């Protein structure tokens, strides 16, 4: 079956007891057992739940994996991956990352005993150069948050594997509709399911997808042992989001391309970061390894901070808010929001300027969105 059909059907067969065509919410903490050591596949919801199982099977299918794991947040999913490592292990990560990922690396896991180095996202050779005997993971986002840089995933996977490490790809921005990193050599996919997978800004969730059986068992042990699992209702909300993922993502992508092109021509915008634009230095690579470019991009203002505040205050459709990937259009100011945990020096080193805005384009009428942005930009 093709993607759109699998998004609606895989892991979501009609309920055998009632015939309900939508997976039920099994809102229970525990399950009756038929005897000591005899159960019907479930014992305790932290260890497994039928609604969560449906979501995990659906996620694995869409990412071309064998095993899916659902978590209470994207951060919980990332922590589970890092908890398969041991003090003294080394991680090479792309330097352009979500601020919460950097915070987790540097303020939680470095004191815990892991070591981190950062490579230029666009340069597979830099990843290879940063590898050590102790390197166990290579970690990238592509496209990156917030500068929409693109990693050559096949080349980075080759560098990781040559050094005996596994490649982790955060596929949140692209989603499995537009990019399937396991098909390009990645070993582990992580998602913030809060974003496009859920798609309606009403749930917090995370996910991991893998192909390797032993890696899955290791991650599942961490999932159960640490307990960072989603509630059944949250799993149901993400499942609902997956059913419309393809149609939503195509509309996000279409709207974002149009607005990026409009803003690129505006005199008050210094630069637009969007891989669909001919001006993006990795446009050809993005087109080769992705089937769409997504609904999020960033812009750099030609003015100062006061001009940004004035622009934001004049918006009527776009909302100033954290997060991205919902049906509504949002704007974020990374230096004080998504990447506010970084020092000014850290942001500057990663190219996050004080004039940067991240735009998550929703699925409203694109003309309303264009008029809102241009009206707020007018003098």
Mean pLDDT of 132-143: 98
Instruction: Tell me what pLDDT residue 379 has.
Output: 67
Q: Which two tokens stand for residue 367?
A: 């003309």
Asked whether the CA dihedral 122, 80, 220, 191 is positive or negative, the reply is: negative
**Residue 30: pLDDT above 90?**
yes
pLDDT above 70: residue 377: yes
CA neighbours within 13 Å on the CB side: how many for 118? 12
- The one catalytic residue among 6, 9, 10, 46: 46
Query: Beta-carbon neighbour count of residue 317 at 10 Å?
Result: 17
- Please state, in angstroms and rounded to a whole number, the distance separating the CA atoms of residues 102 and 93: 9
Which among 253, 269, 278 is positioned nearest to 374, based on CA atoms? 269
- Residues 90, 136 contacting (CB under 8 angstroms): yes
Q: Which residue has the tokens 């945990």?
A: 341
User: Pairing state of beta strands 356-360 and 296-301?
Assistant: antiparallel
pLDDT at 275 over 70: yes
Does the annotation mark 46 as catalytic? yes
| Catalytic position from the list 53, 166, 195, 358 | 195
pTM of the model: 0.96
Verify whether residue 98 is a known catalytic residue.
Answer: yes
The count of other CB atoms within 10 Å of the CB of residue 173 is 29
In whole angstroms, give the CA distance from residue 376 to residue 259. Answer: 14
User: For the chain, which residues make up each domain, given as ranges?
Assistant: 3-243, 245-377
Could you confirm whether 152 is annotated as catalytic? no
pLDDT band at 350 (very low <50, low <70, confident <90, very high): confident
Let me know if domain 245-377 sits in CATH 3.90.1150.10.
yes
DSSP string, 170-190: E-TTTHHHH--GGGGT-SEEE
pLDDT tens figures, 140-165? 999 999 999 999 999 999 999 999 99
Q: One of 89, 96, 126, 170 is an active-site residue; which one?
A: 170
Structure confidence at residue 352 (pLDDT): 86
CATH dotted code for 3-243: 3.40.640.10
Give me the catalytic one of 26, 96, 98, 187: 98
Tell me if residue 90 falls in helix, strand or coil: strand
Is 44 an active-site residue? no
Torsion angle of C-alpha atoms 27, 29, 32, 36, degrees rounded to 10: 150
What average pLDDT does this structure show over 70-79?
98
């Amino acid at each position: 079956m093709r993607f759109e059909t699998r998004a609606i059907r895989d892991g979501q067969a009609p309920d055998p007891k009632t015939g309900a065509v939508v997976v039920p919410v099994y809102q229970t903490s525990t399950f009756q057992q038929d005897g000591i050591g005899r159960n019907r596949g479930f014992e305790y919801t932290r260890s497994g739940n039928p609604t969560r199982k449906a979501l995990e099977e659906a996620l694995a299918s869409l990412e071309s994996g064998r095993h899916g794991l659902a978590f209470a947040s994207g951060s919980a999913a990332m922590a589970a991956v890092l908890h398969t490592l041991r003090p003294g292990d080394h991680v090479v990560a792309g330097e352009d990352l979500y601020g919460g990922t950097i915070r987790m690396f540097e303020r939680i896991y470095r004191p815990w005993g892991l070591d981190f180095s950062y490579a230029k996202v666009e340069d597979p050779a830099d990843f290879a150069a940063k590898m050590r005997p102790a390197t166990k993971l290579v970690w990238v986002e592509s496209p990156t948050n917030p500068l929409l840089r693109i990693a050559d995933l096949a080349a980075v996977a080759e560098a990781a594997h040559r050094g005996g490490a596994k490649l982790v790809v955060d596929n949140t921005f692209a989603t499995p509709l537009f990019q399937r990193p396991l098909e390009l050599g990645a070993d582990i996919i992580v998602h913030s399911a809060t974003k496009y997978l859920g798609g309606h800004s009403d749930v917090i969730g995370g996910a991991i997808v893998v192909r390797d059986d032993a890696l899955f068992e290791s991650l599942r042990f961490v999932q159960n042992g640490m307990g960072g699992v989603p509630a059944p209702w949250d799993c149901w909300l993400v499942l609902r989001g997956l059913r419309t993922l393809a149609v939503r993502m195509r509309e996000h992508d279409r709207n974002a391309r149009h607005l990026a092109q409009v803003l690129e021509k505006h005199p008050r915008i210094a630069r637009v970061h969007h891989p669909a634009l001919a001006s993006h230095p990795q446009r050809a690579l993005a087109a080769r390894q992705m089937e769409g470019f997504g609904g999020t991009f960033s812009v750099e203002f030609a003015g100062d901070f006061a001009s940004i505040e004035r622009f934001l205050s004049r918006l009527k459709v776009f909302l100033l808010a954290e997060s991205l990937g919902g049906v509504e259009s949002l704007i974020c100011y990374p230096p004080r929001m998504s990447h506010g945990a970084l020092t000014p020096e850290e942001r500057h080193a990663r190219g996050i300027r004080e004039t940067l805005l991240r735009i998550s384009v929703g699925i409203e009428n694109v003309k309303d969105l264009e008029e809102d942005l241009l009206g707020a930009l007018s003098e």
